[in-house]
Amino acid sequence: MAFNNVFKDKKVVITGDTGFKGSWLSTWLLMLGAKVYGYANEIPTTPSMFEVTGLDKRINHQYGDIRDKEKMNNFIQEVKPDFIFHLAAQAIVSTSYKDPFNTITTNVVGTASVLEAIRNITWNCTCVIITSDKAYDNVEWIWGYRENDRLGGKDVYSGSKGAAELVIKSYWMSFIKDMPNIKLAVTRAGNVIGGGDWAKDRIIVDCVKAFSEGKTVEIRCPKATRPWQHVLEPLSGYLNVAQYLYEGKVANGEAFNFGPRAEQTKTVFELTQDLAEKWGLDRNNAAKITGNIPFREATLLKLNCDKALAYLNWHSTLHYEQCVDLIAEWYKAYYVEKRNDLHELTKKQIEFYMEQAKKQNIEWSK
């Protein structure tokens, strides 16, 4: 009975349900007995997890732009959700260099439009707004960022996430904190990896595409470290914070970081080699370093997750090896075994994740 069964038979809106995280979250919520209502402007990739797992037939999806304030509001008023998870965003750093304006309007104005819809809610609703670890002003120090560290962003994607945070805070202070029917939290997580991601310029996608064609993968920043975590880790945090808000167990209007174990801070090169090995390839011939860095990416960004541990009893579940195993299993099922039951495989991986959390006595999994 994960998450104290609070999602059973509840109406849950997910903005960005057609994306990578949105597809995993939709699947998990279906397993928890929720009625899932998705809202997104498009299916962002071909192939997509949304389509290959048949989510289009399993949830109620509405196409719409989050910047369309009236349409967004009408959708929320029609569904009357018990929970909202706002994930829709222009989430790709390289795209933010090509189309900064669209990134800013989607991530900042789009978030304001969702907050406008929340302002108009007259029933009880618990809202989780997803931003990013990139919302922090990255000063490239070695310490993990805490929820009260300075926000900012030197590139447009990061700046749009920092700006979204300011918008959320001002809506919270000006309106939402005085609405007794609304509970709201902000969540920040870093790079996530997992099966079913086909977004561009993400290392796992580049690897599995290359490996499935018998090629070596080209990597541009081999020494860059990322706090890699499986997509289910932050999703367990989002669901956990929603549960605790709903049950009144955690303060309203706060931000929470969700990050991986320290051991998971591996270089891009190490991750590529480890994945190649799980794919059955020679780890020493898995990657070619191009040194061709097409855009600036900050190299060091770690989250401090003490707050999630203290208030939610949340910590990450998987070890790095388990995370790589799950990813290899999912993409091999798609590319090598050409399985058509990827919804079942995704559910099996979520079951596995919940079992691992239970073994570690993590509060939400009991």
Ligand X SMILES: NC(=O)c1ccc[n+]([C@@H]2O[C@H](COP(=O)([O-])OP(=O)(O)OC[C@H]3O[C@@H](n4cnc5c(N)ncnc54)[C@H](O)[C@@H]3O)[C@@H](O)[C@H]2O)c1
d(CA 354, CA 327): 16
Binding-residue total with ligand X (CB under 6 A): 27
Q: Is 199 in the site for ligand X (CB under 6 A)?
A: yes
Query: From the list 7, 30, 36, 44, which residue makes contact with ligand X (rule: CB under 6 A)?
Result: 44
d(CA 311, CA 260): 17
d(CA 362, CA 243): 14
Q: How far is the CB of 189 from ligand X (least distance, A)?
A: 5
Is residue 121 within 8 Å of 281, Cβ to Cβ?
no
Q: Is 18 in the site for ligand X (CB under 6 A)?
A: yes
Is beta strand 265-267 parallel, antiparallel or unpaired with respect to 225-227? Answer: antiparallel
Q: Which stretch binds ligand X (CB under 6 A): 183-191, 206-214, 300-308, 317-325?
A: 183-191
Q: How far is the CB of 183 from ligand X (least distance, A)?
A: 20
d(CA 143, CA 6): 35
d(CA 148, CA 289): 37
Q: Is 195 in the site for ligand X (CB under 6 A)?
A: no
Query: From the list 115, 168, 192, 242, which residue makes contact with ligand X (rule: CB under 6 A)?
Result: 192
Q: Which stretch binds ligand X (CB under 6 A): 38-46, 75-83, 146-154, 213-221?
A: 38-46
Task: Give the contact letters, 117-156, x = binds to ligand X (CB under 6 A), - = no.
Answer: -------------x-x------------------------
Q: Where are the beta strands (DSSP E) in 194-272?
A: 217-219, 225-227, 229-230, 254-258, 265-267
Q: Is 264 in the site for ligand X (CB under 6 A)?
A: no
Residues 53-112 interacting with ligand X (rule: CB under 6 A):
65-67, 87-91, 106, 110
Q: Which residue has the tokens 């799950």?
A: 326
Q: Is 41 in the site for ligand X (CB under 6 A)?
A: yes
Is residue 35 within 8 Å of 58, Cβ to Cβ?
no
Give the binding site for ligand X (CB under 6 A). 16, 18-22, 40-42, 44, 65-67, 87-91, 106, 110, 130, 132, 189-192, 199
